[in-house]
Amino acid sequence: MANNAPIGIYDSGLGGLTVWREVRRLLPHEALVYLGDGKNCPYGSRPKEEIRALADEAVGTLVAEGCKLVVVACNTATAAAIDFLRAKYAPLPIVGMEPAVKPACLATRSGVVGVLATERSLDGDLFRRTAARYGRGIEVLTVPGRGFVELVEQDREQTPEAEACVRAAVGGMLDRGVDQIVLGCTHYPFLLPVLKRVLAGRDVTVVDPSPAVARRVAQLLDEYGLRTADKGPGRCRFLTFADEAYRLRLEKKAMESLV
C-alpha cells in the first residue's frame, strides 16, 4: 500500500534542516514539509511546559497539513515533549531525536565521551536514561553549546566568533582525553566544518545522529506501509511561525545543505 502524503519535519528553527537533508538524500521521492518555528527559537533554556506547548502547536500544524509521519528534529523538543506528542497524536508515527550516547559509548577507546547539547536536552529524562544505561564505566562529559544555536540562526557558522565558541566548548573535553563527541542538537552539525578545524590532528570522532534518524524514518515507512508510489523528486515545502523572510531563509539553507 502506497501513501503519497508528505513527511513532516519540525524544529525550533534552522537546525532540523540537518535532519531534513539526510531524509531528503535517503528518500528522494518522498514529499517533505519542514516547519521551522523561528519565532520562538532558541528553545534551549525555556521551561519544559512552554516547550511542550510550542511542540504541540507545531506537530498539530503538520497534522493539519496531512503529514503521514512527523519527525521532531529538535533534541530539546524531543526531551520535553515526545511522550506527550506520541500519546496525543496516536497512531501517527512520530520520530524523535535519540541522544547518540549509545554509539559513542560503544565506540570509545579512551573511556571518555563528550556530549554537546542544549541545557534542556541535558536535563531531560531521555538523556539521563541513555547515559546511565550505556555509560557504565565510561566518563560522559556534558557541555552546553553556548551560543551555538544563535550562531547558526544568524548564519555566522564560519566566523572567528564561531570558532572561539567551539574551542571554548570542547577545550575541557579534549584536556580530559575525550575521543568521541556527540552532537546533541540538530543545529550543531552546521558547525561541523569549524569543529573539524578545532579537532585537526586529534583522533576524535564526531557523532551526528541525523543519518540514523533518516534510517529510522525509512524503517517506519516500510513498517506502516507508508512509502510513496511517486518515482520523481518529492515536493518540498517550508513553513514557519516567523515571517516570510525567515521562511525564505529556511528554503535557501535547505537547498544549500544538499550541495
The predicted structure's pLDDT at residue 229: 93
The predicted structure's pLDDT at residue 54: 98
What cell does 253 get? 539553507
Instruction: Report the SS3 class of residue 254.
Output: helix
In the set 67, 74, 105, 165, the catalytic residue is: 74
Catalytic residue flag (residue 74): yes
In the set 41, 67, 165, 185, the catalytic residue is: 185
Q: What domains are defined for the chain?
A: 7-97+210-258 (3.40.50.1860), 101-207 (3.40.50.1860)
Dihedral in degrees, nearest 10, Cα atoms 14, 16, 19, 20: -60
The predicted structure's pLDDT at residue 103: 93
Is 142:75 a contact under the CB 8 Å cutoff? no
The predicted structure's pLDDT at residue 120: 83
129 CB-near residues (< 8 Å, 6+ apart): none
The predicted structure's pLDDT at residue 1: 59
45 CB-near residues (< 8 Å, 6+ apart): 118, 119, 120
DSSP annotation string for 54-92: HHHHHHHHHHHTT-SEEEE--HHHHHHHHHHHHHHTTTS
Q: Could you list the mean pLDDT of each consecutive 10-residue stretch along the chain, which spans 259 residues? A: 89 97 98 98 91 98 98 95 97 92 94 92 84 89 94 94 96 96 95 95 95 97 95 96 97 93
pTM score of the predicted model: 0.93
Query: If 0-12 CB within 10 Å is exposed, 13-18 middle and 19+ buried, where does residue 147 land?
Result: middle
